[in-house]
Amino acid sequence: MTFRMGIIGCGAIGNVHAETARRAGLTVAGNWDLLPDRVAGMASKYEGCIGHASVDDLLASDVDAVAVAVSNRCHVECAVAALEAGKHVLLEKPMAMNVAQCDEIIAAAERSGKILQLGFVCRGAPASLAVKDFIDAGRFGEIYHAKCSFYRRRGIPGLGGWFTTKAESGGGPLIDLGVHVLDLVMYLTGSHDPVRASGQVVSKFGSPIKDYLFTDMWSGPPKLDGIFDVEDGVTAFIRFGSGMTLELNATWAANLPEGVHANGVTLLGEKAGCFFEVFGDDVTIATEEEGRIVDLNPHFVGGDNKKDDAWDRQYAQFIDAVENGVTPHADGASGRRVQSIIEAIYESSEAKREVELH
Ligand SMILES: NC(=O)c1ccc[n+]([C@@H]2O[C@H](COP(=O)([O-])OP(=O)(O)OC[C@H]3O[C@@H](n4cnc5c(N)ncnc54)[C@H](O)[C@@H]3O)[C@@H](O)[C@H]2O)c1
């Protein structure tokens, strides 16, 4: 059986959802966006896809499930409406703007009995899978420290648009990029109990908008009369009840020569440690075997396009959840957990001290 998928939000990632749904054998049956040309553009690409005139229209149609790929502020209203209309939901990251909204979405999912899966696509990257296999087999022992870095030199997305407007996005690279790696580390290590966080966010590059130097930009040229009131860099330190600590660095812009700092995830375990770029070509696991210090380089499973692989796995899991009732591992609780860390880091930055997670 294949089911009928609706797409809410037909921008950059909405189109990736539609294409991945098609590759997975689903029917892209309907869509909706605030911008009519985006609705029409996507509808014309998929046979039988109906471009709807409102979100209510789409949710009243016979789609079985929807992908929610709108700006962050609208995640809660779209996800709750979809669940209340009896649709399964694949919800983009970040789950919402804050923990209270995550709770609203989780409650709606519980009431409806429908599947809620989060778009934590990095979990399905070939490198992540390789590391997870070794961790689950006990090869790392206790993982006591993790470090994740997501540095962009000049990569503010859609400067002046919704990404850089706090009321629309909830924040900058912490909620946009940090969300991916915070989730990934908790998923891989099994440390699910963040207790305290200390962090600092900075905003140094996007204002005034006309002075921002860059070579390219996600989602079009800067909007010169737009808003930039979010951070463009974050550094944070998180303590877990398990004893693990986690260091996070993420920038949309920084005066950092290319290649000086590796972008990726480092895990330090008692028996083994590793470093990998999430969509990189290899993983190095540093360990000891037969009385020697050795590096292991597991081969990857999958095709050449690591991002497509990860997206395909995300959809395979969503389909398994919808068709067979298998609970997705990227569930509402994991989205809420990441959001609670993000909220604590913003709070810590404001208070200039370590804070407890609520
Ligand atoms: N998984 C990933 O790797 C990844 C990557 C980029 C973005 N994202 C997430 O995907 C979401 C969309 O990001 P994007 O880069 O596609 O942005 P985008 O600006 O390209 O697209 C967002 C679209 O949503 C539409 N929209 C906004 N509010 C709406 C509403 N209430 N109803 C219908 N349409 C609405 C806009 O008109 C726009 O077309 C964000 O939450 C972002 O964090 C995920």
Q: Where are the domains of the chain?
A: 4-114, 124-310+337-356
Is the distance from the beta carbon of residue 65 to the nearest atom of ligand 1 less than 6 Å?
Answer: no
Q: Which pLDDT score, from 0 to 100, does residue 219 have? A: 75
Model confidence pLDDT, tens digit, residues 53-100: 999 999 999 999 999 999 999 999 999 999 999 999 999 999 999 999
Q: Give percent above pLDDT 70 in the chain.
A: 100
Asked whether the predicted pLDDT for residue 338 surpasses 90, the reply is yes
- Please tell me the least confidently modeled range out of 133-137, 258-262, 295-299: 258-262
Dump pLDDT digits (tens) for 126-160: 999 999 999 999 999 999 999 999 999 999 999 99
211-227: average pLDDT = 89
Among 13, 55, 315, say which to mutate for ligand 1: greatest number of ligand atoms within 8 Å of CB. Answer: 13
| Helical packing angle, 306-324 and 126-136, nearest 10° | 60
71 C-alpha to ligand 1 centroid (Å): 4
> 173 CB under 6 A from ligand 1?
no
Task: Give 45-59 pLDDT, tens digit per residue.
Answer: 999 999 999 999 999
Q: In this structure, are residues 238 and 174 in contact, taking their beta carbons and an 8 Å threshold?
A: no
Q: Is the CB of 53 under 6 A from ligand 1?
A: no
Topology (CATH) of 4-114: Rossmann fold (3.40.50)
pLDDT, position 1: 61
The CA 3 to ligand 1 mean position distance, Å, reads 23
Residue of 216 and 149 predicted with greater confidence: 149
Nearest CA to ligand 1 atom 4: 13
Helical H segments across 220-305, by residue range: none
Would you say 6 and 66 are in contact if contact means Cβ atoms under 8 Å apart? Answer: yes
pTM of the model: 0.97
- Cα of 50 vs centre of ligand 1, distance in Å, is 19
Atom of ligand 1 nearest to the CA of 162: 19
| 124-310+337-356 fold | Dihydrodipicolinate Reductase; domain 2 (3.30.360)
Segment 338-342 shows an average pLDDT of: 98
**pLDDT, tens digit, 9 for 90 and up, residues 177-202:** 999 999 999 999 999 999 999 999 99
**Predicted pLDDT at 218:** 80
183 close to ligand 1 (CB < 6 Angstrom): no
119, 332 Cβ separation under 8 angstroms: no
Indicate the average pLDDT of the chain. 96
158 closest CA partner among 209, 221, 233: 221
